Structure 1
Amino acid sequence: MDIQLIINDITKPKQGNRPNFDEAHVIYAMDIIYKEQPIGRPTLIRKLGLGEATVKTLLKRLKESNIIKVDKVGGAELTELGKELLSEWNSKISIEKTELKSISWNSMMIIAKNEADLLNKIKVTQLRDMIIKAGANAALIAIIKSNEIELPPKTSEFSIPGLIEEIKKHCEKCENNDLIVFITPDDIHLAYKVGLILFENRVNS
């Protein structure tokens, strides 16, 4: 099953009311549940930064879509379907908090695995605009080609001493042909929104 179709269904308006969570909250919630299962609603409310009624609706819709099962005592756990869908996401997108000291950024790093060729489909300036529109204050886009870090377009914009080496240090888990995006502020929900942009536009399924 396609994770995009399912999360779109979970977030669609019902009875004319759009939920107070978005697609990024759905993926983030699934990730939290998987890492901490079984997890209770209070913990999920705190981690997601959403209200109790909103999280209750989110859990209800996840359960209706067979993404989670809920034990009244233990809390929520991913079903086998939920694990499969999250695995699909994690096979393409990786997110972690990162500090780029050379440009004084406390940022989130989003890696789209094997997606450097996405920049042949979308210009780097267009991708940056999409990320800013999603809520980022700034974005730095890098790719790995021939096992070297590149910052397209190849201009002097980011010719800052030590930046490439710093990115390389943070990208120890990166592989050739990966696309890496650094964003500020270091907001985890925003990082999932950017991850969704990359996931939805991927060229290598």
Structure 2
Amino acid sequence: MASAGLLRTLETLSKQPSPGPAPAFSHVHICRALLAIGDEGPIGRIELSRKLALGEGAIRTIIRHLTQAKLIRVVRDGCVLTKRGTDLYNPLRAKLSRIAFIDAKQLSLDKFSAAILVRGALRFVRRGIEQRDAAVHAGATGACTLIVTGSAYLMPMAETDEWKLQPQDPLVRNLEKLFHPKNRDALVVVSAPDNALAEHGAISAALTLLE
């Protein structure tokens, strides 16, 4: 599956296929479930529940959606990706780095911060407002988006060079060590009252940079 259409696919998977109550989860949870199963599978319901901070009822529904879509199958030790699931997981993981919990220094907006790299996403970044709004909607305090242009890290909503992070900046050195970003990548740093909300907000923000 090409990277185009990834977001639309995740949104479709999160929808209730038949009349009834709206699901207690979103496309962000679907994405996180697929990544967790692809990264660590086989993985059981209890562990998925812990990772996604969802009740077992919601996890069972997610597993049912993914099973019906033939993206996963359930084996004795838990859930694993099918061939079709791997075809969705691979481009997702190619675009989205793993989450890193960081000291966000001057970008920190709360006690805990998580960062994620979205590869080749510069063309989808406008002013960073979409990422901030998605993170806040997911329960985070806020988000800062950085675009990588050459050796500089820029905040797209900044109107002056004051928010251009230079290579010698300690935050930049840490981000480069963690993510090895390349020209035209985007980094999103999300802050929240706890790590779980920071992680969920980071994935939510990153998904706004997918097609």
TM-score by length of 1: 0.82
Alpha-carbon RMSD across the aligned residues, in angstroms, is: 2.6
Structure 1 alignment gaps of length 5 or more: 201-205
Secondary structure at the counterpart of residue 199 of structure 1: coil
Question: What aligned pairs does 1:7-22 form with structure 2 within 5 A after superposition?
Answer: 7-13=10-16, 14-22=18-26
Aligned-pair distance for 1:175? 0.7
Which residue of structure 2 lines up, in the alignment, with residue 203 of structure 1? Answer: none
Q: Residues 157 and 130 of structure 1: is their aligned pair in 2 closer, same or farther, counting only changes over 3 Å?
A: farther
* Partner residue in 1 for 2:173: 168
Question: 1-side partners of 2:104 and 2:203: how far apart?
Answer: 23
Aligned residues: 197
Report the Cα offset of residue 160 of structure 1: 8.8
Partner of 1:155: 160
- Tell me the equivalent position of 1:89: 92
Distance in 1 (alpha carbons) for counterparts of 2:128 and 2:204: 17
Shift of 1:135: 3.7
More deviation, 57-66/109-118: 109-118
What amino acid is the match of 1:166?
A: L
Distance in 1, matches of 2:166 and 2:182, equals 23
Counterpart of 1:142 (choices 140, 146, 164) is 146
Sequence identity, in percent? 26
Map 1:94-113 to 2 at 5 A.
94-100=97-103, 102-103=105-106, 105=108, 106-113=112-119
Runs of 4+ residues deviating >6 angstroms: 159-163
- 2:35 touches 2:93 (CA, 8 Å); kept in 1? no
Q: Give, in angstroms, the shift of residue 156 of structure 1.
A: 6.6
Show structure 2 runs of 5+ residues with no match: none
Matched, 1:199 2:178: no
Native 8 Å contact 1:103 1:163 kept in 2: no
What amino acid is aligned across from residue 21 of structure 1 in structure 2? F
| Residue equivalent to 2:190 | 183
